[in-house]
Chains A and B, each alone.
Chain A
Amino acid sequence: MEDFGSPALRALLGALPGAVLETHAQHGDATAVVERARILDALALLREEPKLDFGMLTDLTAVDTLPRAPRFEVVYHLYSPTQNHRVRLKARVPEDDCHIASAVSLYESANWMEREVWDLYGIRFDDHPDLRRILLYEEFEGHPLRKDYPKERRQPLVGPEN
């Protein structure tokens, strides 16, 4: 697999050769698809290596690729303020086994963003300290950003009972 001149991809391919499934650098964004079980190893490597120093998990989100399988992709955008470079990691999560390790132990910013992904996509994050819904309310049924959630669907009325 090619590293497209990105030091982050080179380090990932060097240290975790079996874990990287795919790389690309479309439109200049260095990207690695990492095996789901090794995602924390990849994040820890990128954070700890002094030459890479990815101090910030700027963004964490998911994409529903229905009808492709595995269905979900969890997308991590990392940025290094000292080295001024970026990398994108992706991990694929199947629908019938819908969970991935939480990155909160490495990056505190993952806390709210993982709650948001759980809320809107229904992907569970193992060992998350406080996995509650964040944008919607606890009684909400379903996960609205899934492609099979119809936009027009109504929700049951919730509130205190008389």
Chain B
Amino acid sequence: MAQPHFPGAPFQSEDDFERDLHTEHQLLNMGPSHPATHGTVKFLIELDGESIVNLDIQVGYLHRGFEKECESGSWYQAIPYTDRLNYSSAIIANVGYCMAVEKLLGLETPERCQWLRVLVSEMARVADHLTRCGAACLELQAMTPFLYGIEARELVWDQLETLCGARVTSNYVRIGGLKHDMKPDFPASCREFIAKTRSLLKDFGDVITSNRIFVDRLVGTGVIDRDTCLRYAVTGPMLRSAGDPLDLRKAEPYLVYDQIDFDVPVGECGDNYDRYLVVVEEMHQSLRIVEQCLDHLESIGPGPVNVLDPRVRWPAKGRVFNHMEELIQQFKSVTEGPRVPAGEAYMATESANGELGFYVVSDGSAVPVKVRCRPPSFINLAPMSEMLKGAMLADLIPTFDFINMIGGECDR
């Protein structure tokens, strides 16, 4: 007599291995605050066992009305808000926003300012990539490389602190220039930082790059091809890991990137491991750029870092205290801010995550009509559900890490 089968009863014969068990899909909420993701985002996952069937990504937890706030202050008052978009590479957003407004004003910044902007942008890029790699290691249970990465990031932030007084949200860039020039002893301390960071990056790589567990978790997971990247308008290291060398620093050189010698690393198969390798090589290239900037800044000698345009330049303090006209100009600059000619402009820069664009619209007044940030984090996150369809739940962690969604920029 055949044994009746009860669900959950042990297998009786070889044939039982072929039998279809009654299974059902399970809905799992992951986030918005989850210990294995370094971002405030909720994943609603439909699971078949451990495989992802469907993934709904719900963003917006850090939405704080960036555009609405920008539309209610002066053009200057938006700069601190741009710091808080991508807080691990704040200066890149400062530079992008100020260049968009300068495009509207028709301003060309002095040579020294442009080299300094490249220098700080590249240092910020190193900090961003270190955060991405360090946090990824941490979330894959590798604590030591995380500490190396964070130590190197502290060095970057120490340098930024000597340069502009703040570590993370620097607020260093101004419309038409910078807050101030670097101090005379900055190049020496910065060179020391480069040497130390290189050695830390070597330690970091020695520990993790060929670590068996790390490689197994990354190779072949979170794969995206070039065509999918283009359909989703994905840019930055994600697109480059899929084999497309698009880098706006080379494609549409802004500032002085056309005078700098650096390489653009490109991956082959667009998986997480390629993304890791691309990002690590980009850090080495960024350090090369910083060195060239220091050499060039020392060779050109002292000079202005701000344009001499009364619309955006505040008068010298000595003259403000002693002359009527400068006092009035200072008063107007502080209370009202610059009037920007009517029009619209889009300025795209290569941030650590991809194309960071600012679309600014002015009606000729001192208050912006529109400050749109084209956030690479938001746009790069959209294809994630397509990348992970059919993958294991555990692959979600490294994929999310190497997409590097920064909540401040994604949700604005």
A120–B378 Cα gap in the complex (Å)? 15
**CB-CB nearest in chain B for A59:** B374
A77 engages B357 (CB within 8 Å): yes
Using Cβ atoms and an 8 Å threshold, which residues of chain A touch B344? 26, 29, 31
B68 engages A144 (CB within 8 Å): yes
**Is B83 part of the binding interface, using a Cβ–Cβ cutoff of 8 Å?**
no
Q: A58-B357, A112-B382, A144-B65 are in contact. Are A27 and B106 (CB under 8 A)?
A: yes
B60 engages A135 (CB within 8 Å): yes
B357 engages A26 (CB within 8 Å): no
A135 engages B59 (CB within 8 Å): yes
Q: Chain A 82-111 against B: per-residue CB contact (8 Å), 1 yes, 0 no?
A: 001010100000000000000000011101
B346 engages A88 (CB within 8 Å): yes
**Is A134 part of the binding interface, using a Cβ–Cβ cutoff of 8 Å?**
yes
A134 engages B359 (CB within 8 Å): no
**Is A40 part of the binding interface, using a Cβ–Cβ cutoff of 8 Å?**
no
B233 engages A57 (CB within 8 Å): yes
Using Cβ atoms and an 8 Å threshold, which residues of chain A touch B401? none
**Is B104 part of the binding interface, using a Cβ–Cβ cutoff of 8 Å?**
yes
**CB-CB nearest in chain A for B370:** A63
**Is A56 part of the binding interface, using a Cβ–Cβ cutoff of 8 Å?**
yes
**Is A122 part of the binding interface, using a Cβ–Cβ cutoff of 8 Å?**
no
Using Cβ atoms and an 8 Å threshold, which residues of chain B touch A144? 65, 68
Q: Which of A65, A84, A88, A112 has the most CB of B within 10 A?
A: A112
Using Cβ atoms and an 8 Å threshold, which residues of chain B touch A56? 230, 233
**Is B350 part of the binding interface, using a Cβ–Cβ cutoff of 8 Å?**
no
**Is A6 part of the binding interface, using a Cβ–Cβ cutoff of 8 Å?**
no
**Is A70 part of the binding interface, using a Cβ–Cβ cutoff of 8 Å?**
no
Using Cβ atoms and an 8 Å threshold, which residues of chain A touch B378? 112, 116
Using Cβ atoms and an 8 Å threshold, which residues of chain A touch B233? 56-59, 107, 109
**Is B361 part of the binding interface, using a Cβ–Cβ cutoff of 8 Å?**
yes
**Is B208 part of the binding interface, using a Cβ–Cβ cutoff of 8 Å?**
no
Q: A26-B343, A81-B244, A135-B63 are in contact. Are A61 and B359 (CB under 8 A)?
A: yes
**CB-CB nearest in chain A for B374:** A59
Residues of A21-36 whose CB lies within 8 A of B: 26-27, 29, 31
**Is B122 part of the binding interface, using a Cβ–Cβ cutoff of 8 Å?**
no
Using Cβ atoms and an 8 Å threshold, which residues of chain B touch A26? 343-345
Q: How large is the interface on B (under 10, 10 to 19, 20 to 34, 35 or more residues)?
A: 35 or more
**CB-CB nearest in chain B for A116:** B378
Within 8 Å by CB of B345, from A27, A55, A81, A116, lies: A27
A91–B300 Cα gap in the complex (Å)? 47
Q: A77-B359, A151-B68 are in contact. Are A27 and B230 (CB under 8 A)?
A: no
A55–B231 Cα gap in the complex (Å)? 7
B63 engages A109 (CB within 8 Å): no
Distance of A50 from chain B, by nearest CB (Å): 15
A59 engages B372 (CB within 8 Å): yes
**Is A131 part of the binding interface, using a Cβ–Cβ cutoff of 8 Å?**
no
Using Cβ atoms and an 8 Å threshold, which residues of chain A touch B361? 63
B231 engages A109 (CB within 8 Å): yes
Residues of A1-59 whose CB lies within 8 A of B: 26-27, 29, 31, 55-59
A61 engages B230 (CB within 8 Å): no
Q: A77-B359, A112-B378 are in contact. Are A27 and B252 (CB under 8 A)?
A: no
**CB-CB nearest in chain B for A133:** B60
Residues of A108-161 whose CB lies within 8 A of B: 108-109, 111-113, 116, 120, 133-137, 144-145, 147, 151
Using Cβ atoms and an 8 Å threshold, which residues of chain B touch A135? 59-60, 63, 411-412
**Is B232 part of the binding interface, using a Cβ–Cβ cutoff of 8 Å?**
yes
Distance of B122 from chain A, by nearest CB (Å): 22
Using Cβ atoms and an 8 Å threshold, which residues of chain B touch A27? 103-104, 106, 343, 345
A29 engages B411 (CB within 8 Å): no
**Is B277 part of the binding interface, using a Cβ–Cβ cutoff of 8 Å?**
no
Residues of B348-392 whose CB lies within 8 A of A: 348, 355, 357, 359, 361, 369-370, 372, 374, 378-379, 382-383
B contacts, CB < 8 Å to A: 59-60, 63, 65, 67-69, 71-72, 103-104, 106, 230-233, 235, 244, 246, 251-252, 343-346, 348, 355, 357, 359, 361, 369-370, 372, 374, 378-379, 382-383, 411-412
10 more A-B residue pairs beyond the given contacts A27-B106, A151-B72, with a C-beta to C-beta distance below 8 A: A27-B345, A29-B346, A58-B233, A58-B374, A61-B370, A84-B252, A108-B382, A109-B232, A134-B59, A151-B68
